[in-house]
Amino acid sequence: MHTLLLNAFSIPVGILPWQRAVLLLLDGSVDLVESYPDRRVRSTSESVPWPAVVRDNARLLNLGLSPNRLNVLARDRHRCLYCGVEPRTPSGRPNVDRLTVDHVIPQCRAS
């Protein structure tokens, strides 16, 4: 028997072996949506419903936005994260031509 895996928006994303679904259920990675009414998984210390459908609660938001330059600038609200400067055009719109996307290496990883 297998278990249907749903994402946080209740969209089917895959099928799991029931053993994997029980492990994920016990460690809190998924929520039980539906179970088989006449079956239970038993161990020496616990008894849980046999999962038919589970919902993944770890991946709450995956909007599929690629990390391109404009999306990164919009995420940072067109502001320099180092000094807080927000370059604007005379009309008050963000001046994206004056902003750059830099990658900083932390001192602990500098060689």
Residues 2-19 pLDDT 10s: 899 998 888 888 899 999
pLDDT of residue 81: 74
**Residue 31 is encoded by which pair of tokens?**
């929520």
Q: CA 96 → CA 65, 75, 100, distances in Å? A: 19, 13, 8
Domains of the chain, residue spans:
2-56, 67-111
Question: Whole-model pTM?
Answer: 0.51
CA distance 90 to 47: 67
pLDDT of residue 30: 92
**DSSP symbol at 82:** T
Q: Which residues of the chain have pLDDT under 70?
A: 58-65, 103-111
Residue for token digits 């210390």? Answer: 45
